[in-house]
Structures are given as structure tokens and as C-alpha cells.
Structure 1
């Protein structure tokens, strides 16, 4: 995996990923940012949420469950001093589907958290990571 990050101006940076995509990032206002793009740590958290939500959907689909939607809502706390690593991250999944079994969703969330989601497992080295979920019938 490769990535290149280039300084654009002020506190703005442009990342170019190995898969050929671009993401703009910007530092906070107190560091010269102008609130034109997400902060790098926000993208880190978003990536963990995307990784885990992808796992949950994939696991449910492979089990032939009629999943129609999945949203991961993450709340994180950071250390007050440098390095300001994440110290707590809570994932709340809202999983939609037709006749989805609660046990199947619980299993998918657990498998993602404990086995498949590299991002959250890596962040779990510095943060207390918790999960919960709700199932919504379509």
C-alpha cells in the first residue's frame, strides 16, 4: 500500500492513494486551517468506521442475510497532551434489513471488531474500543 501527501497551502494537504484517489485534509483553525477539509484524525476515525461497516455488511451478505443498510456512528476521545492519540472509541452500528436476526448482526459486529477490521484493531492498541448496535426492520 502506498500514499503520497503533498502540502498545498497554509494547513492544507492533498493525499494521493495507491489506488489512484485523492483526499484533501486540513489542520485545525488554530494551526492555520480554514475549515475547507476534514482533519487528518477525522479521516483516521472515518477510515476505521468504513473498514468496520464494510466488514459487517460483507459478513451479513455472505451469510445470505437480507441486509439493506448499515451506518457506523463513531465517537472518540483523544489524549489531552501530545501525542493526542485516541483513548476511547465507541462504534454504534445501525443495521437495516428484512427479517435480520439480532444474533447474526451481533456476530458480524464481533467478527469485525475481533478478527477482520485492521483499522479498529490497530487503534485498539491505544484506545479502549467498544461497540453496540441496533437492528432496524425494513
Structure 2
């Protein structure tokens, strides 16, 4: 894998992935775009979401929506690394079995999500979930 990051003035940077996709990041505490640390949180949530959605689809769960609310704590000193990250999955669909969601979240956390597992080597990463019935 490869990526490139270009300085765009002030403390804004343009990151370009090896696959050619770009994202702006802001080193001014997210004034104009997500900060690099916010990008880490979005990365762990999206990586884990890919697993959870895929596992639920393979289990033939009628999932219609999956959202992850991520909260994190950072150290008070420099470097202000994450000390804890919590991912709360909110899964919406028809007749979604809670045991399937629990299994999907656990498999992602313990086996599949590279970002979560990598961060877990130095950060306390926890997971929870809730299931909402579809409004349809």
C-alpha cells in the first residue's frame, strides 16, 4: 500500500491513497476539514463497519442501516495519543437477531478489523451495539 500527503498551505493537507482517492485534512483542530486524529476514528469505524455489514449480510440478516458512534479519550500530554476508543454500532433492519449483531461486532473486533486490532495494541478499544427495528 502507498499514500501521499501534500501540504496545501496553512495547516491543510491533501492525502491521496494508492487507489487514487483524495481527502483533505486540517491540522488546525479540524477547522476546515477533519483532523488527522478524527480521520483515525473514522478509519476504525469504517473498517469495522465493513466487517459488521458483510457478516450480517452473509447471515441473511435484513440490515437496512448501520451507523457507528465513535467516542475517544486522548492523553493530556504531548503526544496526545488516544487512550481509549469506543465504537457503538446501531444496526437497523427487519427482524435483526441481536445474537447475529453481537457475533459480527465480536468477529470484527477480535479477528477482522485491521485498524481496530492495530490500535488495540496500544489503546483500549471497546465495542457495543444496539438493534433498531425498521420504520418501514
Q: Does 1:110 align with 2:103?
A: no
Q: Does 1:71 align with 2:67?
A: yes
Structure 2: gaps of 5 or more residues: none
What is aligned with 2:90? 94
Aligned-partner Cα distance in 1 for 2:28–2:32: 10
Q: Deviations over 1:53-94 (max 9, x none)?
A: 111000000111111110010000111112221110111110
- Retained in 2: the 8 A contact 1:75–1:91? yes
The runs of 4+ residues in structure 1 deviating greater than 6 Å are: none
Structure 1: gaps of 5 or more residues: none
What is aligned with 2:57? 61
What is aligned with 1:44? 40
Q: TM-score, normalised by structure 1?
A: 0.93
- Retained in 2: the 8 A contact 1:59–1:108? yes
SS, match of residue 9 in structure 1:
coil
What is aligned with 1:85? 81
Aligned-partner Cα distance in 2 for 1:67–1:91: 18
- Retained in 2: the 8 A contact 1:98–1:137? yes
What is aligned with 2:22? 22
Aligned residues between the structures: 134
Q: Does 1:122 align with 2:122?
A: no
SS, match of residue 39 in structure 2:
helix
